[in-house]
Amino acid sequence: MSDTSYVGAIVESYHEVLAEFPEAFVMGEDVRLALMGTTHDLVDEYGEDRVVDVPISEQGFHGLAVGAAMDGKRPIVEHQINTMSYLAMDQLANNAQRLRHMTDGQVSIPITITIPSAGAPGSASAQHSDYTYPVLMHLGVKVVVPTTPTDVKGLLHSAVAEDDPVVVYWPAKLQSTREEVPEETPEIPLGEADVKREGDDVTVVAVGETVRMARSVADDLDGVSVEVVDPRTLLPLDEQTIFESVEKTGRAVVVDGGYRTCGAAAEIASRISNEAFWSLDAPVKRVTRADVPISYSPPEEEYTLPDEETISRAISDVVP
């Protein structure tokens, strides 16, 4: 075991996957300089052919990644800003996600895309503060949100090994967190949730940085036993682990830092309501950010985002 930060786990994971997969390469804006602190020493160890700086043209370099994947490579595209992925949407939606189907399986598109999320809090303002994964989930793109350094290592390895596009989100509020990480890269398949905290009275399904908030709330509550489930992969979603938890507790709160309408929390809450209805003793509650652009103003930004107080209040609403 070694004491490892979230960002340190990303760096180690990039080195490990480039060593294991000779067909893999990393590309992005200023990745050779490790602008985001995640690609340290990669170009020194693997050279400029496998660590590629690209021009500021998201549509263009995502198209390059799709072509490389069709040619047998495993491109890893690193974004510096979360909402820049919107600029690449045509390549993601019309090509990366659909070419396997459109060619009747003649090609696979093993692209991994990493995106820092969500820019907030921190006065990143409206254009840099989104969680973009609901759009990708709607399109059928596999989405991963690791919340611990151990999860980072296991899930990035699984994403790069996948033969379909996978988008991996690094929650900004977690990147300074640390924990003891096994020396051997843990095996964490896509679509496997993790029960981060056992409990009996209410299930809190939390995504990204809200996992940490939910655990903190659970530790501080008196007289209420809270189980915290971290999906880790939003698509495919590990319904079985979530439903088993809800069947045990009879109550559910779903927490996500993304928007409320058509968001990840809406999808998870809907599945619980549809498939675990007879286990519920109270309606499913959602805790999300407000459906408004994030303000540059820190107090306004804080007001729109989920926090420990809103999670605690939602738990109180469903537990008598």
Catalytic residue among 15, 79, 101, 128: 128
Residue with tokens 């738990």: 315
Which residue pairs from 259-262 have beta carbons closer than 8 angstroms and sit at least 24 positions apart in sequence?
A: 259/130, 259/131, 259/134, 259/288, 259/289, 259/290, 259/291, 260/286, 260/288, 260/289, 260/290, 260/291, 261/291, 262/134, 262/138
Q: Is the peptide bond before 121 cis (omega within 30 degrees of 0)?
A: yes
**Smallest Cα–Cα separation from 13: which of 97, 112, 92?**
112
Crossing angle of helices 308-318 and 210-220, rounded to 10°: 60
* Catalytic residue list contains 128: yes
Q: Is the dihedral of CA 275, 280, 283, 286 positive or negative?
A: negative
Residue 78: alpha-carbon gap to chain centroid: 14
Distance between CA 123 and CA 301 in Å, rounded?
A: 7
Question: In the structure encoding, which two tokens stand for residue 201, read together?
Answer: 């009275």
Q: For the chain, give me the number of helices (H) and strands (E)? A: 12, 14
* 5 residue type, one letter: S
Task: Identify the three-state secondary structure at position 39.
Answer: coil
> What contacts 104, CB < 8 A, 6 or more positions away?
none
* 63 residue type, one letter: G
154, 188 contact by CB (below 8 A) = yes
Distance between CA 193 and CA 208 in Å, rounded?
A: 12
Catalytic residues: 128
